[in-house]
Structure 1
Amino acid sequence: MAVTILSVFKAGGICAPIDPAHPRGRILEIVDTVQIKVAVASKQSAGVLRRLFNSIIEVENPQPSSDKTGLPERIRKRVQPANIAYLLFTSGSTGKLKGVLISHSAFSTSIVHHGPAFGASPEWRTLQVAAHTFDISMTEFCTTLAFGGRICVPFEAHRTNKLAAAITALNVNVALVVPTVANLIPPEQAPTLKTLVLGREPVTKETISRWANPLNLTAGYGPSETAVYCSGNLNASVDAHPADIGRLIEGTMWIVNANNHHRLVAIGCTSWEWIFQ
């Protein structure tokens, strides 16, 4: 999957992940909405996608070869920063599918800033556990690789039933996960884990108490439109408030009136509207 994503990026295409396990109606809605013509899929998934695309490219894991016969010497299209890198669908607040388009420049800018904030380095051995249709998976892949780290992909059976054992076996030291997944892992059974970044779900006091002492804990925040992460409560302590999303990572944030985004709300008030720059 990592190689496929990077290949699509480099070729100038748009990566729009689809889960073959999703209901047929949802897959059809995405294909029709985006007018996708080409699918890149594993042999196991290709069958589900037949008759939906003009072309399906089946990807396997061939043995490495030095034979370059038939490979193009250079990419014919030069990718520009403004080109779209990936498209993900979210139900948002309406329950109806909403496509979020993220450009190369937006994603790269996010990686350049949230990577150092989270401590990304060549020492990272990142657990790849998020569904490929979930934007956190993009950071598992791309943030890790951008800073020279390694992506650790457990077997499917281990991912769903033996996650702590997989973390130890793969010597994983970084996980970017939702709190629900973090709560399934007993810290004492994952001694190699050193950095944990939470996101996409409300963080609970239980999660903070469980993880703040053993390792470097970050409560991350960001809607999909901000290229995954835009703020974080870095190095959260045991007594950190679960609702504390920290400060914006290399940017400016305003909390504005839900009915008029030109007006700021008073300190202590709440709003569902956010403006980022």
Structure 2
Amino acid sequence: WDVVEALFPAGVVGSMFAAYGRLLERLASGEGWSGGVDAAVAVPPRPAPAVAFAPEPLFAGFLRQASQAPERPAVIDGAGAMSFGELARISGVAAGRLLALGAGPERVVAVDLPKSWQQAAATLGVVRSGAAYLPLDPSLPPARRTALVAATNALELDWPALLDGQGEVPDLPSVDPASLAYVIFTSGSTGQPKGVMVEHGAALNTILDIHRRWQVGRDDRVLGLSALNFDLSVYDLFGLPGVGGALVLPDEAERRDPAAWAELITRHRVTLWNTVPALAAMLAEHGLPADHPLRLFLLSGDWIPLELVPKLRALAPKAELVSLGGATEASIWSIFHPIGELDPAWSSVPYGKPLANQVMQVVNSRGQPCPDWVVGEIEIGGIGLARGYFGDPARTNERFRTDPLTGERRYRTGDLGRFREGGLIEFLGREDFQVKVQGHRIELGEIEAQLIQHPAVRQAVAAALPAPGQPHAKTLHAFVVPEEAG
């Protein structure tokens, strides 16, 4: 072979030529004519990092903390601090009322409250009743809200009345960890959103691994900036309170105000940051007092620009920076990468390696595992996998497949990537028209489908284009061809 070796990572050309030689040998011996070419390619095993895991309901840790230390603050918002004991009591009363109104296992209950202790109590009340919560942004257009509620046959309730705290906590039924915990809708290419169904045990596996790896405990606090319908909020709500830590919630008006974040971090001694990279960049631009307590940045949901890393290190020299990734369909996160020294060859921070009890695989168009450095589609398997899409078996079967070789069920992410040396996955973009804007998955086809429903629009094209001067920050644009008048 005549090769410009500088175009390839070290060792790749040698591995390719060795595979080529093995293929020729198999053909020459007569063995290679009936099998696939891939038999000559050495693909290392990619087993899930197994860790002992005992499934239980998402709220079980919170209830233990409420029993052991009822006076400790569990949720802090603009109205003050609510203790574990009081939050357990109010959510327990609400759970009893929900059961009387028809909630229970596999039933979906809408939660449409703004950031507040009430939002946390409502969510806890739903899952303690055995039902699953459907997060609805209070600012959703009425038509979108109606569609999501109808798609799940969700109960819509008068939350302020349910959370008045009057009465005693009834005996509540036990909740199966294999029952549905929440349904979060993501954008759909056909114009219809997809409701991802996640069970208690699936999400808890992710949360517990984060706690193990970074020693999250009762002295930690997290600033809950993510909307309830964005699954980073699942960790905020059930992660810190589950180990005795506190959730600090900004008012809705403060969710995009870095000056307010800085003040909350300092006043309430927030130690964990859990957002998309764009919000961390806003915090870095604004700055923090030198004595701030942040010790861990969990960054996920989008590309992490290389230029953001030194800015965060200047902001918080003692804090650990971690890249996390995955999909709503696989319970918050499935992959992590501690951000150490930056490699000059990187175009962005690597995707990383799988979290405990989760599988990350890169496969070709035939669903076969790719060797190192070969680009393919990233698939996720393991304990964290969602059931599928609510009321949509066709799309569930399309995106969740069973590997014929291993019998393992995996989610086809549509993300392109490749394995680097040492089992590290590199993210390389999308194979379809899905984009991410500030961490939110958006199917451009859904925007186009909505636009062409307007009688004045004949054709439409949507695109996510770089913001001026910010190549990694995307903004949505749409272009339409109007119907000819008359």
Q: Report deviation, 1:185.
A: 0.5
1:156/1:169 Cα in 2 relative to 1: closer, same or farther (>3 Å)?
Answer: farther
- 1:207-229 residue CA offsets vs partner (Å, 9 max, x unmatched): 22222462111000110111101
Aligned mate of 1:118, from 204, 211, 214: 214
- 1:150-193 residue CA offsets vs partner (Å, 9 max, x unmatched): 11112333332222222222221111100010000137415221
- 1:225-255 residue CA offsets vs partner (Å, 9 max, x unmatched): 1110111112x12415424122111133211
Q: Say whether 1:231 aligns with 2:309.
A: no
Taking the aligned partners of 1:130 and 1:74, their CA distance within structure 2 comes to 32
Taking the aligned partners of 1:106 and 1:243, their CA distance within structure 2 comes to 26
Task: Report the equivalent of 1:271.
Answer: 376
Larger relative CO (CA 8 A, sep 6+): 1 or 2?
Answer: 2
Q: Say whether 1:221 aligns with 2:221.
A: no
What is the alpha-carbon root mean square deviation over aligned residues? 2.1
Question: Aligned letter for 1:245?
Answer: Y
Question: Aligned letter for 1:164?
Answer: A
Aligned mate of 2:241, from 121, 130, 145: 145
Deviation larger for 8-17 or 207-216: 207-216
Aligned mate of 1:6, from 111, 119, 124: 124
Taking the aligned partners of 1:25 and 1:137, their CA distance within structure 2 comes to 24
Calculate percent identity across the aligned residue pairs.
24
Task: Report the equivalent of 1:53.
Answer: none
Aligned mate of 1:255, from 351, 362, 366: 362
CA contact (8 A) 1:158 1:166 kept: no
Task: Report the equivalent of 1:154.
Answer: 250
Per the normalisation by structure 2, the TM-score is: 0.49
- 1:27-59 residue CA offsets vs partner (Å, 9 max, x unmatched): 1110110011233545xxxxxxxxxxxxxx554
- 1:49-80 residue CA offsets vs partner (Å, 9 max, x unmatched): xxxxxxxx5545x6xxxxxx7424311x3211
CA contact (8 A) 2:177 2:201 kept: yes
CA contact (8 A) 1:256 1:275 kept: no
Aligned mate of 2:284, from 173, 186, 203: 186
Taking the aligned partners of 1:70 and 1:148, their CA distance within structure 2 comes to 26
CA contact (8 A) 1:159 1:166 kept: no
**3-state SS of paired residue (2:266):** helix
Q: Say whether 1:73 aligns with 2:179.
A: no
Taking the aligned partners of 1:9 and 1:276, their CA distance within structure 2 comes to 25
Taking the aligned partners of 2:211 and 2:329, their CA distance within structure 1 comes to 18
Taking the aligned partners of 2:189 and 2:349, their CA distance within structure 1 comes to 19
**3-state SS of paired residue (1:184):** helix
1:40/1:123 Cα in 2 relative to 1: closer, same or farther (>3 Å)?
Answer: farther
Q: Say whether 1:177 aligns with 2:177.
A: no
Taking the aligned partners of 1:229 and 1:118, their CA distance within structure 2 comes to 15
Question: Aligned letter for 2:271?
Answer: N
CA contact (8 A) 2:122 2:159 kept: no
CA contact (8 A) 1:212 1:237 kept: no
Q: Say whether 1:203 aligns with 2:304.
A: yes
Task: Report the equivalent of 1:48.
Answer: none
CA contact (8 A) 2:185 2:194 kept: yes
Aligned mate of 2:224, from 123, 128, 151: 128
Taking the aligned partners of 2:136 and 2:254, their CA distance within structure 1 comes to 22
Per the normalisation by structure 1, the TM-score is: 0.83
Taking the aligned partners of 1:72 and 1:114, their CA distance within structure 2 comes to 32
1:123/1:195 Cα in 2 relative to 1: closer, same or farther (>3 Å)?
Answer: same
Deviation larger for 31-40 or 187-196: 187-196
**3-state SS of paired residue (1:272):** strand
CA contact (8 A) 2:183 2:197 kept: yes
Question: Aligned letter for 2:171?
Answer: R
1:245/1:111 Cα in 2 relative to 1: closer, same or farther (>3 Å)?
Answer: same
Taking the aligned partners of 1:276 and 1:108, their CA distance within structure 2 comes to 15
Gaps of 5+ in 1: 43-56, 63-68
CA contact (8 A) 1:117 1:249 kept: no
